[in-house]
A = this chain, B = another copy of it.
């Protein structure tokens, strides 16, 4: 359910080297195939076969792409067809068993049973390192599959290329369209043993006109091949230990760039050294959090969450400093910053980037610089919405990069030209042809007849506009502050007093007729129903409470979200959530509600915040395979867990305020980006003691269940005293 991958990677690494158990087509005959949904990260635990190991994976997305440069070691007869799951006999795919599988930071191991090969994987930032131990010396093959990919379909590959440079070196690329319209992954491969023999699939009917190539025997030992659907095999004589190693470097720039990346990061053949170096990187990340809990599952879940928050955004730049920009040109960082990709911003602005502001100051700065470069390189002159691999895929709604920027400013991230950043935010937010934005600017709301999911858009634009206003205010840009402060009130324009919910309007100003606040297919909303989305005014919670009838009524209303009994019909045809992930009508697997539980603090019911937070922490994140109640959404779900388990949460990024919840751990030392440590002591912790009796920071009582980032970042002791009884 979490759509995470089990393979090897270093923190924020460009290479994510992981097994793909199936990669069924995204679409069949042009029609979306719903079965593909579970393969967002290429791997499903219940699958009995592995196709091979590919080098790029998203962690926790709800749509997909990537799965590039799939390597499959095989023995015996060459088979250039991956075969049909779950039948390994139909191709080079192999059965495997979880008992031979081992996945730990920067290491993955499995035995491919049909070929009797033990596969071990590790990585550097830009290079995947494979070690294959065969059972026979004279029957070792490597399949290089450039067709395979995640969310693949006929015609996704635009072009692929392979060139044999010498007896141990291959370069090439895979060029695709799809979620990313114009994406090229360049690669360079080196083998530890010389290639004895090589060849390609039959590409006679491969949609690529072959010119005058008929003059060669193209199927064997011909040093270059180009086609839309290309698979190659390589045969080896093994040394006495039956081991074959290979290194696969990636680049967004060129094949030469990939070779350079390999030269720099992985010039030798010491598998254990690469593994160790990557482990050391993981240690540095994981040990930023020193957690104590008597419940081992909590430790497991917590560190798993930390791991998941270091899987993206990922480095997207060659060691030379060059990278491919959104304009498809080659750019170079001269300021020493690192270019990042995979911005799932609708998810990650909520807690992941705020978490980075606590513990990954430098990376978050570079990520924001990457976003500003994206904006400069954008044909639409817009900040990223959902972008990966030098492409904007426009997934989801809003323009939440502005939240990340405003939050960074609010939290003192330096090294960013914020005047320029504000300009990028304003330009983005004034892009009239983007998703009803022109109408929103004219009418104060997005009309449903002009642009779907209009309520969700109106609410999120309003929040984003508040972020822009805050940034403008602090930068002294009064006119911008005024304009966007006004826009930030737009949520009021879709509030329907008669139902008490935010409700879609037409461009004539009328609420649309049919309305079911619990339906997840109700027009006006995306990844959430009216019930949940109506609570999405993180920047003006007090006003929202007033709008909805005052504190008491609001508290009751909010509580009913968790206590209501829902009919089964509301669970039909929903992606990204499980029945188990739902409490009443609260859906933790989807992001729009991530701040909701903390709203009880604002209406005099901190006890309910504490109760439900604890409930989510204990039931929606489990220390087992497939333990997440929804996609990890590029680290957002995990970042929510980390914050909430520590006892506070950034309800409204762009402000520097955290809301206090109910800590799950007993004791924590957090190594902050500032260099200081944040100590969290939880007294009288216990399974039933979910209620906070008192909370102090550096001995001072915390008021209104809020603490500011500027306090925390200097370090100190946050002390909770817990109780089994609610204290209101």
CB-based contact B208/A181 at 8 Å: yes
**When each residue 138-168 of chain A gets 1 if its CB lies under 8 Å from chain B and 0 otherwise, what string results?**
0000000000000001011011010111000
Known: A156-B209, A327-B163. A226 touches B182 (CB 8 A): yes
Does A210 belong to the interface (CB within 8 Å)? yes
> A211 within 8 Å of B by Cβ?
yes
Knowing A223-B380, A254-B330 are in contact, say whether A209-B178 is a contact too (CB < 8 A): yes
Determine the main DSSP class of A at the interface with B.
loop
A625 interface residue per 8 A CB criterion: no
The reply to whether B395 and A221 contact each other, CB–CB distance below 8 Å, is no
Tell me whether A210 and B226 are in contact (CB under 8 A).
Answer: no
Given A217-B433, A255-B329, also A181-B210 (CB < 8 A): yes
Please report the total number of A residues contacting B with Cβ < 8 Å.
Answer: 50
Tell me if A213 and B394 are in contact (CB < 8 A).
Answer: yes
User: Which chain B residues border A439 with CB–CB below 8 Å?
Assistant: none
User: What B residues does A256 contact at CB under 8 A?
Assistant: 329
Q: Does A334 contact B (CB under 8 A)?
A: no
Min Cβ gap A454→B in Å is 12
* Choice from B159, B211, B380 contacting A178 with Cβ under 8 Å: B211
Contact B159 A177 (CB under 8 A): yes
> Which residue from chain B places its CB closest to the CB of A397 in the assembled complex?
B215
Q: A435: which B residues are within 8 A, CB to CB? A: 215-216
Interface assignment of A571: CB less than 8 Å from any CB of chain B: no
Q: How far is the CB of A326 from chain B (nearest CB, A)?
A: 10
A153 and B209 contacting across the interface, CB-CB below 8 Å = yes
The interface bits of chain A over 431-445 (1 if a CB of B lies within 8 angstroms of the residue's CB, else 0) are: 001110000000000
- Contact between B393 and A433, CB atoms less than 8 A apart: no
Residues of B within 8 A of A473 (CB): none
Chain B residues with Cβ below 8 Å from A210 are 181
- Chain A residues 166-182 with CB under 8 Å of chain B are 175, 177-182
- The answer for the CA separation of A181 and B162 in the assembled complex, in Å, is 13
Which chain B positions have C-beta within 8 A of A238? Answer: none
Identity of the chain B residue whose Cβ is nearest the Cβ of A210 in the assembled complex: B181
Complex CA gap A394/B211 in Å reads: 8
Using an 8 Å CB-CB cutoff, how does the interface string of A484-519 with B read, 1 for contact, 0 for none? 000000000000000000000000000000000000
Within 8 A of B (CB), among A197-252: 207-213, 215-217, 221-224, 226, 228
- State in angstroms the CA–CA spacing of A317 and B180 once bound together: 30
Which residues of A are interface residues toward B (Cβ below 8 A)? 27, 153, 155-156, 158-159, 161, 163-165, 175, 177-182, 207-213, 215-217, 221-224, 226, 228, 254-256, 327-330, 379-380, 386, 393-395, 433-435, 451
The 5 closest A-B pairs by CB, nearest first: A224-B379, A212-B394, A223-B379, A181-B226, A163-B379
